[in-house]
Amino acid sequence: MQNIRQHFPLLSQTLSGRPLVYLDNAATAQKPQAVIDTVNELHASLNGNIHRGVHYMAEQCTARYEAARESVREYINAEKACEVIFTAGATASINLVAFAFGERYVRADDEIVVTEMEHHSNIVPWQLLCERKGATLKVLPFADSGELRVDLLPALLSQKTKLLAVAQVSNVLGTVNPVDEIVRAAHAAGVPVLVDGAQGVQHGRVDVQRMGCDFYAFSGHKIYGPTGIGVLYAKEKFLDEMPPYQGGGDMIKTVTFAKTTYADLPYKFEAGTANYVGAIGLGAAIAFLSTLDPAAMQQQELLLLRRATEQLQDVGGLAIYGNAAHKSSIASFAFGNLHHLDVAQILDKLGIAVRSGTLCAEPVMQHYGLTGMVRASFAFYNTLDEVLALTEGVKKAKKILE
Ligand code: PLP
């Protein structure tokens, strides 16, 4: 881990005349040189549209796109490569399921269950589905500690429940949810599960088969890959039964004005020119991550979280939200008397990048009666000095604003 920062050119920049302290990794992670080089190389010397041309560059890009799919399959341990759909990101993946699953399985008076700690991307697509179908959205609450009330789940599930959607890790509270247990409980009631892995996948390998989930969604840009690319893993049975989400080139077998037939999996769900540059860049990110020791990576992230939690608690006048026993490297906090935006802006002037506001999770803010929080999120390339810079910065902000 010691030399890891040299792989990330952006981290050695200065901001406002000070060394950049980048603590907004849950919003987007920085890119290793290997990913930057891969994307540049494709644009500079190997750009050809995939699955169409027979010329060299088209064939190379096609082969590398499919190799990236195989890398994702291996990283998340999907059984088959055809169960890995490339999308524009976690949001696009969830919308795909909400539309296509909804068209196939959801009727009036059915129910969809989400949790109170979801990101808007795992709430609004389900609300739209419920509006379209006359179905109802049910919500599994969390306790003030930031832990999901899994004990209340059996009472929420019924014959009417068509799907449960849950975050693997909360983007505000950092809670690592017991998704294996949740999947088991849902399956026992005959309910399929979508796991939003946007904040889970970047902290080490995922095993969708062990987790048992039916759908798993994540974004490339949060796992050190490019923006505009994401993944939907779905069990083949569902992909076979669900209708296409979007129509266009590449997702068809034959088209006549009388009838169109659809391509085999996974292409049935990849309409139009795919973001093959992004997908190949994501493959490079996974290859980079595979060179790291996952235990060392997690140890570093948890050390940063522990130290940040201790030091922030010493600042006084603020509360940290999310104290689950099993947490990922996210520390969200709010002062009783100071506005989160003011704090974040002063930190910015000190060269420290954090996130502030409702963090795309307004129901979590409503739970605590807050208008927003400040969130520091750590990656394995962050350092204890940066944690200290954060807490010194927060103290300074407090002094200025008070
Ligand atoms: N789900 C969670 C838990 C997230 O944290 C995010 C983004 O922050 C998303 C979904 C949406 O990801 P994207 O905006 O990359 O589609």
35-289 CATH: 3.40.640.10
Residue-level pLDDT, tens digit, the chain, 402 residues: 669 999 999 999 998 789 999 999 999 999 999 999 999 999 999 999 999 899 999 999 999 999 999 999 999 999 999 999 999 999 999 999 999 999 999 999 999 999 999 999 999 999 999 999 999 999 999 999 999 999 999 999 999 999 999 999 999 999 999 999 999 999 999 999 999 999 999 998 899 999 999 999 999 999 999 999 999 999 999 999 999 999 999 999 999 999 999 999 999 999 999 999 999 999 999 999 999 999 999 999 999 999 999 999 999 999 999 999 999 999 999 999 999 999 999 999 999 999 999 999 999 999 999 999 999 999 999 999 999 999 999 999 999 999
CB atoms within 10 A of CB 285: 26
Gap between the Cα atoms of 64 and 133, Å rounded: 40
Nearest ligand 1 atom to the CA of 171 is 5
pLDDT confidence of residue 52: 87
pLDDT confidence of residue 17: 87
Cα atoms in the 13 Å half-sphere on the side-chain side of 332: 29
Gap between the Cα atoms of 274 and 281, Å rounded: 13
pLDDT confidence of residue 231: 98
Pocket test for ligand 1, best of 24, 91, 96, 179 (most atoms within 8 A of CB): 91
pLDDT confidence of residue 1: 67
- For 155, residues 6+ apart whose C-beta sits below 8 A from its C-beta are none
pLDDT confidence of residue 204: 84
- The rounded Å distance from CA 379 to ligand 1 centre is 16
Gap between the Cα atoms of 193 and 166, Å rounded: 8
**What phi, psi does 70 have (nearest 5°)?**
-65, -35
Helices (H), 268-401: 276-290, 294-315, 340-349, 362-368, 384-401
Residue ranges of the domains in the chain? 2-30+293-401, 35-289
Using a 6 Å cutoff on CB, does residue 168 contact ligand 1?
no
For residue 130, indicate whether it is catalytic.
no
Using a 6 Å cutoff on CB, does residue 177 contact ligand 1?
no
pLDDT confidence of residue 16: 77
Does 3.30.565.10 match the CATH number of domain 2-30+293-401?
no
**What phi, psi does 157 have (nearest 5°)?**
-90, 140
User: What amino acid is encoded at 218 in this protein?
Assistant: F
